[in-house]
Structure 1
Amino acid sequence: MGAAAARRPAPELTAPPLDYTYDGTFEGLLTVLFTVYDWRAAPNSIQPEATAQTGLFAQPAHRETDETLATRVWEGLLRTMDPEARARLYHVFLSEDADRELLIFRYVDLALRAAQDISENYANADVRRVQRLAQMMFREKHRMEAFVRFEKTSDELFHATIEPDMDVLPLIAAHFTKRYADQRWLIYDRRRHYGLYYDLTRTDIVQFENPAGAKSTDISAAVLDEREPLFKHLWQAYFDHVNIPERRNLKLHRRHMPLRYWKYLSEKQPREQPFVPIQNKQAIAGKEVSAGLKQLPPPE
């Protein structure tokens, strides 16, 4: 028997709708989803408690996060959808879309009541929206993995600052942990005020407390490795030398590397030294050949 035939049908939501609030975590949202079906009360709204907006006489139903219930819901979703479809729900949550909580509820409710897999039911607006947000999240994750630029500090820590449109740090942790397993690094999300720190053994989520008005991402030149300016110059020189001005296509370039990323890219910063082409050619018999290379004899 298939999973759809084996599972029990979702209970009807017959109680008056409620305005739910939670702590803003994905586990908290999963706890709310359990509560919706436990109380048989559909949500009028689902909002993080810190930013909840309710009516004058409305009494929000706050739910504390329950890790056991959240795990039960997360594992139970596999009875209604495959792992890839379930992962898309987490990506929708990280997208920070204004309607993400209710969108996830509607998608889950649709899956619970459908007789077959809904992941490709693109006639449904919620399914299309979930797919669209998941695609946007994948692109943002891919760009962050490509555009992160580290600076080395005097204590051998590699630091990078990012400011993505979506909360991608949980999705890029595995990539950087595997790629830079032999060095300590910190990636800080300036917009969301938290980061990932790898200490050569594990990667943890870290947060910083700063004095009012301080910028947690500003690194004093005094704490940077003395060779860091050289590394930056070498990277800029490499970028300039592989550039082909005749093939410049600024419109295509901005599509693949949007302007919002440029302020954190070393190659996009002002040059402290002017670009000088590599002088590795010499004229021989009216032609230019690379220095050090022998000129081939003409064909017979």
Structure 2
Amino acid sequence: MSRSLTPLNQPNSPQKSRAGGAARPTAPVLAAPPLDYTYDGSFEGLLTVLFAIYDRKAAPNSIQPLGAVQGGLFTQPLLVETHEATAARVWEGLLRHMTAEARTRLFHAFLSEQPDRELLIFRYADLAMRSAQDIAENYADDNVRRVAHLAQQMGREKHRMEAFVRFEKTSDELFHATIEPDFDVLPLIAPHFTKRYADQRWLIFDQRRGYGLYYDLHRTDIVQFETGSAAPRGTGVSATVLDEREPLFKVLWQTYFDHVNIPERRNMKLHRRHIPLRYWKYLSEKQPRETRFEPIKNKRPATE
């Protein structure tokens, strides 16, 4: 399955929304018998499927990625080959029916990895193309409500990943971090880390999905491990390839958190709400202490 950091590998730049006074084009009537569609699992592939639906005028019974196809006894799904130019045409064409923000929600819904995300995106796009008004806030519709909810979930997960990623420095000056988010958020966090850590090489590896982001001081790219190769496992890299000062950095980081902690204001219920337990295994400050905590004795004795 191919992946891209931004839809259609385009740079992160503001897109022009459809002019408010422009007439909305009418979507073709889907009068042909419904079909089952399958594609390569990429967002560009799904956009190509949307084009094929209206080109054939055949609504989808199902849209399934390759490898997860469940065909019927008497029918075979139609394989739609991905075409970058067609996908770009569909992506730009969506702006005639929705705002750039609403279009971005569709990309976020795709990254959510929900089992029925393809049909959900089709229904949202089809509704937008057949409506005389902007549907982005039509929360009475179940499809609009679900897409908005998924976009909110993706936003929260993106924010948490940007806050909770902890890097380890290797002996060859590479900063490595392992994550396992609930959703496929790597394409969303790439701009943040590219801008914030522009002066160092880094790799963020999504252990659940088997791919990562690699920044080489010039650009950020998707890196994917071949099937059967030794992909990183566990919560970090092997101690044999870490920089010799990395254990000291870990102790200093833990010591900092210990000293800024105020025991009298401890509230674990609130703490778990802001930092869910599933993230703790990747946070240095949540690992067992190698040195015993000793409070800093810098307070002056009370004078009478």
What is the TM-score with the length of structure 1 in the denominator? 0.92
- TM-superposed CA distance for 1:208, in Å, is 1.8
- The answer for the alignment partner of 1:199 in structure 2 is 216
User: How far apart, in 2, do the equivalents of 1:271 and 1:277 lie?
Assistant: 14
Alignment match of 2:163 (pick from 146, 159, 162): 146
* Alignment CA distance shift 1:3-1:77 (3 Å): farther
User: How far apart, in 2, do the equivalents of 1:260 and 1:80 lie?
Assistant: 39
- The answer for the alignment partner of 2:238 in structure 1 is 220
User: How far apart, in 1, do the equivalents of 2:252 and 2:119 lie?
Assistant: 49
User: How far apart, in 2, do the equivalents of 1:213 and 1:70 lie?
Assistant: 34
Does structure 1 retain, via aligned residues, the 8 Å contact 2:25–2:96? no
* 2:43 matches 1:36: no
Q: 1:236-255 CA distances to partner (integer Å, 9 max, x unpaired)?
A: 00111111111111111111
* Alignment CA distance shift 1:214-1:143 (3 Å): closer
User: How far apart, in 1, do the equivalents of 2:227 and 2:69 lie?
Assistant: 26
Does structure 2 retain, via aligned residues, the 8 Å contact 1:34–1:73? yes
User: How far apart, in 1, do the equivalents of 2:29 and 2:21 lie?
Assistant: 17
Does structure 2 retain, via aligned residues, the 8 Å contact 1:4–1:79? no
User: How far apart, in 1, do the equivalents of 2:134 and 2:88 lie?
Assistant: 22
Q: 1:86-123 CA distances to partner (integer Å, 9 max, x unpaired)?
A: 00000000000111000000000000000010000011
User: How far apart, in 1, do the equivalents of 2:19 and 2:175 lie?
Assistant: 49
What is the TM-score with the length of structure 2 in the denominator? 0.91
Aligned pair count reads 286
* 2:63 matches 1:46: yes
* AA in 2 matched with 1:120: E
- The answer for the alignment partner of 2:272 in structure 1 is 254
Alignment match of 1:83 (pick from 90, 95, 100): 100
Secondary structure of the equivalent of 1:185? strand
Does structure 1 retain, via aligned residues, the 8 Å contact 2:176–2:237? no
User: How far apart, in 2, do the equivalents of 1:166 and 1:214 lie?
Assistant: 20
Q: 1:119-162 CA distances to partner (integer Å, 9 max, x unpaired)?
A: 00011011000000000000000000000000000110000000
Structure 1 unaligned spans of 5+:
287-300
Secondary structure of the equivalent of 2:67? helix
1:112-261 equivalence runs, <5 A: 112-209=129-226, 211=228, 215-216=232-233, 218-261=236-279
- The answer for the alignment partner of 2:293 in structure 1 is 275
* Alignment CA distance shift 1:4-1:30 (3 Å): farther
User: How far apart, in 1, do the equivalents of 2:225 and 2:231 lie?
Assistant: 11
Q: 1:72-94 CA distances to partner (integer Å, 9 max, x unpaired)?
A: 00000000011000000000000
Q: 1:267-286 CA distances to partner (integer Å, 9 max, x unpaired)?
A: 00000111110111131425
Secondary structure of the equivalent of 1:64? coil
- TM-superposed CA distance for 1:54, in Å, is 1.6
User: How far apart, in 1, do the equivalents of 2:288 and 2:26 lie?
Assistant: 62
- The answer for the alignment partner of 1:25 in structure 2 is 42
Higher RCO structure (Cα 8 Å, ≥6 apart): 2
User: How far apart, in 2, do the equivalents of 1:3 and 1:33 lie?
Assistant: 24
Does structure 2 retain, via aligned residues, the 8 Å contact 1:196–1:205? yes
- TM-superposed CA distance for 1:49, in Å, is 1.2
Structure 2 unaligned spans of 5+:
1-17
Coordinate RMSD, CA, aligned: 1.6
Secondary structure of the equivalent of 1:86? helix
Greater C-alpha Rg = 1
Secondary structure of the equivalent of 1:58? coil
